[in-house]
């Protein structure tokens, strides 16, 4: 069923129940995302796609569109909230872009540019977290994890369907974990998919990094905004 | 009396800071030609001087600004401390020792606008990798357990009073003094620094577009 809604004052027709973030993109309105992937189940973990729906702040990936909705995306208060959310992620982990294998092809970094982050308004914490080298093919850089849970939900052992990645602990003690036994059974394609799915540099393929020269890296060729608006693979 | 105490007593008489050393006076005619221009300076704290090189990367594009701008302390002039008040001060590097704090505070007091240039000034950068370890572990790794310690010599951690004391952690500049603007990058492109300087000199609001904002 087709419905009408308003995004930033623009009248938009959409199919009822479609995720708001996708509806906005189809109408050339970019909303940054980190945990959401079009076509996959909504996780709603990162909140970076926060917008105002009828005056209430909510994550756009979690909202199925309904008739008569009034959505504000580029409104100053909520725009700054999205920026603050990205800044808090940069302060919470240790995101050392200059030394990171994922730099230039990192969603968090690319979204940082889109929200215009120059510095984090929050205190940089430098929480010490141990890396996990146990798996043969994957290095787990825990410093950089933003707990989006993409890998937890979308990367499974092909035989058993069990999770390969999981999160242990609670709150500030949360940790991303890898099941080395399952990880060692991952095919090369599955490893590449997991690396690409990770929006930061937490899941790194051993022996791979810094392949593309500066200036020719993924988001330098085409920004995260352009990629999202095109609707192709992120 | 320890060796250090003797040196300290001597230095009370002979001590002189590099910024107090006598220097060749600047040509009066040249000084007069610089009257009324916007004074710009740059200092380096705990960084690698890469951002300073990026300032040099402005190349001939800087020439277009030179009728409005004059450069006091920078890698081009090698003045230790700015001799007069500046309008724009660029800071490279984070704060990792007591000398960095003193230098940054002096710069803040003597500049109208301060700008953090590069990852180290903005969040600590590569030197801040030590923030995840204790300072004593870092010093022990460098001076006691290092594979390059000289054989047959008892390894010591240097603690001469002339050596600035390291801070426990590496801090961004804005943790120590107020910083007005930030130019990310490791290092930022000359273009990014030029854009900010050009905005300031021409009285426009500072705006670093997404296309030249880089964190690495």
Find the CB nearest A109 among B116, B132, B215.
B215
Q: Ramachandran region of residue A30, left (φ > 0), alpha (ψ -120 to 50) or beta?
A: beta
pLDDT of residue B83: 84
Report CB contact under 8 Å: A124, B125: no
pLDDT of residue B20: 83
pLDDT of residue B12: 59
Report CB contact under 8 Å: B210, A113: yes
* Cα separation, A29 vs A225, whole angstroms: 10
Of the two residues A140 and B31, the one the predictor is more confident about is A140
Mean pLDDT score of chain B: 91
Residue B207 at interface with chain A, using a CB cutoff of 8 Å: no
Question: What average pLDDT does range A29-53 have in this prediction?
Answer: 96
Instruction: Give the confidence band of B16 by pLDDT, cuts at 50, 70, 90.
Output: confident
* Domain boundaries, given as residue ranges, for chain B: 30-130+166-204
A94 neighbourhood in chain B, CB within 8 Å: 132
Question: What average pLDDT does range B49-68 have in this prediction?
Answer: 92
**For B136-173, how does the pLDDT look when each residue is reduced to its tens digit (9 = 90+)?**
999 999 999 988 888 898 999 999 988 999 999 999 99
A96 neighbourhood in chain B, CB within 8 Å: 119, 125-126, 128-129
Number of CB pairs < 8 Å for A and B?
64
Instruction: Give the confidence band of B18 by pLDDT, cuts at 50, 70, 90.
Output: confident
Question: What average pLDDT does range B12-26 have in this prediction?
Answer: 78
Instruction: Give the confidence band of B4 by pLDDT, cuts at 50, 70, 90.
Output: very low
Q: Are A162 and A185 in contact (CB under 8 A)?
A: no
What string of H, E and C letters represents the secondary structure of chain B? CCHHHHHHHHHHHHCCCHHHCCCCCCCHHHHHHCCCCEEEEEEECECCCHHHHHHHCCHHHHHHHCCCEEECCCCCCCCCCCCCCEEEEEEECEEEEHHHHHHHHHHHHCEEEEEEEHHHHHHCCHHHHHHHCCHHHHHHHHHHCCCCCCCCCCCCCCCCCCCCCEEEEEECHHHCCCCCEEECCCCCCHHHHHHHHHHHHCCCCCCCCHHHCCCC
Report DSSP state, residue A200. Answer: S
Question: What average pLDDT does range B207-216 have in this prediction?
Answer: 94
Architecture label for domain B30-130+166-204: 3-Layer(aba) Sandwich (3.40)
Supply the ipTM of this predicted assembly.
0.93
pLDDT of residue A172: 86
Residue B127 at interface with chain A, using a CB cutoff of 8 Å: no
pLDDT of B9 > 80? The answer is: no
Ordered by where they begin, the domains of chain A are: 1-127 (3.10.20.740), 131-207 (3.30.70.20)
Structure-block tokens of residue A224: 């995260």
Report CB contact under 8 Å: B216, A223: no
Find the CB nearest A119 among B126, B128, B174.
B174
pLDDT of residue B14: 75
Of the two residues B77 and A169, the one the predictor is more confident about is A169
**Mind telling me how many Å the CA of A131 is from chain B's nearest CA?**
13
> Which positions 89-108 of A are in contact with B (Cβ < 8 Å)?
90, 94-100, 103-104
Q: Are B92 and B47 in contact (CB under 8 A)?
A: yes
Find the CB nearest A119 among B126, B133, B182.
B182
Question: What average pLDDT does range B27-53 have in this prediction?
Answer: 94
Residue A215 at interface with chain B, using a CB cutoff of 8 Å: no
Instruction: Give the confidence band of A97 by pLDDT, cuts at 50, 70, 90.
Output: very high
Residue B93 at interface with chain A, using a CB cutoff of 8 Å: no
pLDDT of residue B2: 40
**Mind telling me how many Å the CA of B5 is from chain A's nearest CA?**
38
Of the two residues B26 and A143, the one the predictor is more confident about is A143
Question: What average pLDDT does range A88-108 have in this prediction?
Answer: 95
pLDDT of A232 > 60? The answer is: no
Residue whose C-alpha is closest to residue A98's, from B142, B121, B168, B38: B121
Q: Which of A93, A107, A118 to mutate to test the interface with B (most CBs of B within 10 A)?
A: A118
B92 neighbourhood in chain A, CB within 8 Å: none
Question: What average pLDDT does range A2-19 have in this prediction?
Answer: 97
B124 neighbourhood in chain A, CB within 8 Å: 124, 126
Instruction: Give the confidence band of B6 by pLDDT, cuts at 50, 70, 90.
Output: very low
Structure-block tokens of residue B66: 């030179």
Find the CB nearest B126 among A98, A113, A114.
A98
pLDDT of residue A94: 94
Instruction: Give the confidence band of A103 by pLDDT, cuts at 50, 70, 90.
Output: very high
pLDDT of residue B76: 77
Instruction: Give the confidence band of B178 by pLDDT, cuts at 50, 70, 90.
Output: very high
* Share of residues in chain A with pLDDT > 70 (%): 99
Instruction: Give the confidence band of B1 by pLDDT, cuts at 50, 70, 90.
Output: very low
pLDDT of residue B26: 82
Question: What average pLDDT does range A37-65 have in this prediction?
Answer: 96
**What residues form DSSP beta bridges with A23?**
none
**Mind telling me how many Å the CA of A67 is from chain B's nearest CA?**
35
pLDDT of B5 > 70? The answer is: no
B91 neighbourhood in chain A, CB within 8 Å: none
**Mind telling me how many Å the CA of A126 is from chain B's nearest CA?**
6
* Share of residues in chain B with pLDDT > 70 (%): 94
Number of Cα atoms under 13 Å in the Cβ half of residue A64: 7
């Amino acid at each position: 069923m087709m419905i009408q809604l308003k995004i930033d004052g623009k009248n938009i027709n959409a199919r009822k129940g479609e995720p708001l973030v996708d509806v906005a993109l189809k109408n050339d309105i970019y909303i940054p995302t980190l945990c959401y992937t079009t076509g996959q189940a909504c996780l709603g973990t990162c909140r970076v796609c926060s917008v105002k729906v009828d005056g209430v702040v909510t994550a756009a990936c979690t909202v199925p569109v309904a008739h008569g909705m009034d959505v504000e995306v580029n409104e100053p208060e909520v725009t700054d909230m999205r920026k603050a959310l990205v800044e808090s992620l940069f302060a919470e982990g240790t995101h050392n872009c200059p030394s990171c294998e994922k730099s230039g092809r990192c969603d968090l970094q690319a979204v940082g540019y889109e929200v215009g982050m120059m510095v984090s308004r929050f205190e940089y914490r430098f929480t010490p977290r141990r890396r996990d080298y146990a798996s043969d093919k994957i290095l787990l850089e825990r410093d950089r994890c933003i707990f989006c849970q993409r890998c937890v939900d979308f990367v499974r052992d092909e035989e058993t369907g069990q999770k390969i990645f999981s999160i242990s602990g609670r709150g500030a003690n949360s940790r991303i974990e890898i099941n080395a036994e399952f990880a060692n059974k991952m095919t090369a394609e599955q490893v590449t998919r997991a690396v690409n799915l990770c929006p930061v540099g937490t899941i790194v393929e051993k022996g791979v990094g810094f392949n593309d020269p500066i200036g020719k890296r993924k988001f330098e060729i085409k920004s995260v905004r352009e990629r999202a608006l095109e609707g192709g693979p992120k | 009396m320890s060796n250090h105490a003797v040196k300290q007593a001597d230095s009370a008489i002979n001590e002189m800071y590099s910024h107090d050393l006598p220097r060749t006076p600047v040509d009066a005619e040249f000084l007069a030609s610089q009257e009324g221009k916007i004074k710009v300076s740059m200092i380096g704290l705990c960084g690698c001087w890469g951002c300073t090189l990026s300032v040099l990367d402005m190349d001939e594009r800087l020439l277009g600004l030179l009728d409005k701008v004059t450069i006091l302390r920078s890698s081009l002039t090698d003045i230790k401390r700015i001799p007069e008040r500046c309008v724009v001060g660029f800071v490279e590097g984070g704060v990792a020792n007591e000398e960095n704090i003193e230098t940054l505070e002096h710069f803040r007091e003597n500049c109208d606008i301060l700008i953090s240039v590069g990852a180290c000034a903005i969040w600590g950068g590569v030197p801040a990798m030590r923030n995840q370890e204790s300072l004593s572990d870092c010093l022990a790794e460098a001076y006691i357990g290092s594979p390059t310690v000289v054989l047959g010599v008892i390894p010591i951690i240097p603690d001469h009073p002339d050596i600035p004391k390291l801070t426990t952690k590496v801090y961004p500049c804005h943790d120590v003094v107020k910083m007005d603007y930030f130019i990310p990058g490791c290092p930022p492109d000359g273009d990014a620094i030029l854009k900010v300087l050009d905005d300031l000199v021409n009285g426009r609001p500072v705006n670093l577009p997404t296309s030249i904002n880089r964190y690495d």
